[in-house]
Chain A
Amino acid sequence: MQQVITAFVCESLPPGSPHRKLDENTSLLESGIIDSTGVLELVQFLEGRFGVTVEDSELVPENLDSISRICSYLRRKGITSAEGAARPRAEDEYAAPRLPS
């Protein structure tokens, strides 16, 4: 699972980026590796690759700010391997509109 996430983060970075040798505890936000649209890419990747639903309340640095935090978050969601929990979500499949809480 960690390898898959690391590969995604590294592939999202431009070639030659000084961040490409990041470690599992590197802060993705503070190091500038992911910006606001990078967060959207990351969430889309996690939902598509691991079949989880990232709730709005879970969109916090504690869950997504480093590779190790992402792994811990996924484990708490019941994901224990790179295979994920369910089928990957199709790229053109969007969350249904919902009433605000």
Chain B
Amino acid sequence: MDFPRNALAIDPSTEAERIADFIREQVLARYRRKGVVVGLSGGVDSALVAALAVRALGAGRVLGLMLPEKESSPVSTPYALEQAQALGIEALHIDLTPVLSALGVYEQKARVITRICPVYNPDTDRTKITLPPNLLRRDGLNVYSLTVEKPDGSRLSCRLGPEDFRALAAAQNMKQRSRMIQLYLHAERLHYAVCGTTNRPEFDQGFFVKHGDGAVDLEPICHLYKGQVFALARHLGVTANILKRTPSPDTWSGGVSDEEFFFRMPYEQLDGLLCAWNGGATSQEAASALGLEPEQTARAFRELEARKRASWHLRTAPPSLLAAEPAAVCP
């Protein structure tokens, strides 16, 4: 096949209407709910979903939840609130820090980090974990490093071992799972559905938490690549603060971008590579269309395939023997 250069182009007006129709159909006709709850992170994905939900259902049927915790960026809540006000929707602010403290999230993180880096002070230092940068420029395995930043700006960095990585990831994932609990609390209280905010690269590559941000009733934008998310967000008037913000999981106090934390390349390149790979393009075809070397696209394709394979369980219902059961026969 010949990977088309305009494969990612969308007509924002048509696409917005298509998604709004989808939301209406799912929420009102299929789920038979009165509206939707959207977790507003202060990022572009959730801002777009909220804007699409308003277009589909009206502002009176959309509830935004701002669910920060003490390690969230300080701009997350103001940006989310600004977006909610621009859309005219009700928005509730619930600080998850007490819940996460009670669950032991911060304690577990501090215990692991202190063991690795004894000078770590959880009260003053900022932390993040990152992968080796720039996969397209240099091959390298996905080995995470922890960085501890002291108040004076000095940084200590250390590669993570398997037990420490898993312990940190497990603790961190309780943040998204705690958000899910809040979203469903309010959705059930109001007879609303929970609207997900996962986009195509996140969905395809498994960049979401099982039973966390992956646990929703509908996913209106999980067919959209990140550039398409931005195009649609601009079309629907998402606020300038959110549009210019660097995409981030916003779960580490040290501030880490999606590129540093997971994808190892900018979204501008990731979108094209993932679109080409999903469309069955060869690495040569993708290289030609995207202005990269075949060696780079081949490396990226290997990475995309490995991540998709490793994350299969996030995208399916739990395996069971139900399908093998004989059809019920009524007496």
Contacts and interface: CB of A to CB of B under 8 A. Distances in A.
B94 interface: no
A31 to B, nearest CB: 10
A16 interface: no
B155 A61 contact: no
Contacts of B161: 40, 44, 94
B12 interface: no
Contacts of B142: 36, 39
B306 A94 contact: no
A37 B162 CA distance: 6
A59 interface: yes
A35 interface: yes
B166 interface: yes
Interface in B138-191: 139-145, 147-148, 155-162, 164-166
A29 B299 CA distance: 12
Interface string B286-330: 000000000000000010011001100000000000000000000
A61 B157 contact: no
Contact of A59 (B119, B141, B160): B141
Contact of A98 (B115, B144, B157, B309): B157
Contacts of A64: 141
A32 B313 CA distance: 14
A100 interface: yes
Interface string A34-55: 0111011101100000000000
Contacts of A11: none
Contacts of B96: none
A37 B165 contact: yes
A44 B162 contact: yes
A99 B147 CA distance: 9
A44 B161 CA distance: 7
A60 interface: yes
Contact of B140 (A40, A43, A60, A99): A60
B302 A95 contact: no
Contact of B158 (A44, A61, A95): A95
Residues of B contacting A: mostly: mixed
Interface footprint category on A: 20 to 34
Interface string A69-101: 000000000000000000000000011111110
Contact of B143 (A32, A40, A62, A98): A40
A36 B310 contact: yes
A13 to B, nearest CB: 14
Contacts of B116: 94, 97
A30 B308 CA distance: 12
A60 B117 CA distance: 25
Contact of A94 (B115, B141, B148): B115
Contacts of B132: 56, 59
Given A32-B309, A95-B159, A99-B155, A60 B139 contact: yes
A32 B159 contact: no
Contacts of B157: 97-100
Interface string B128-144: 00001000000111111
12 contacts: A29-B306, A32-B306, A39-B143, A40-B143, A44-B161, A59-B141, A59-B143, A95-B158, A97-B119, A97-B158, A98-B157, A99-B157
Interface of B: 115-117, 119, 132, 139-145, 147-148, 155-162, 164-166, 302, 305-306, 309-310
Interface of A: 29-30, 32, 35-37, 39-41, 43-44, 56, 59-62, 64, 94-100
Given A37-B165, A99-B157, 15 more contacts: A29-B306, A30-B305, A35-B306, A39-B143, A40-B144, A59-B132, A59-B140, A61-B139, A64-B141, A95-B158, A97-B116, A97-B119, A97-B148, A99-B155, A100-B157
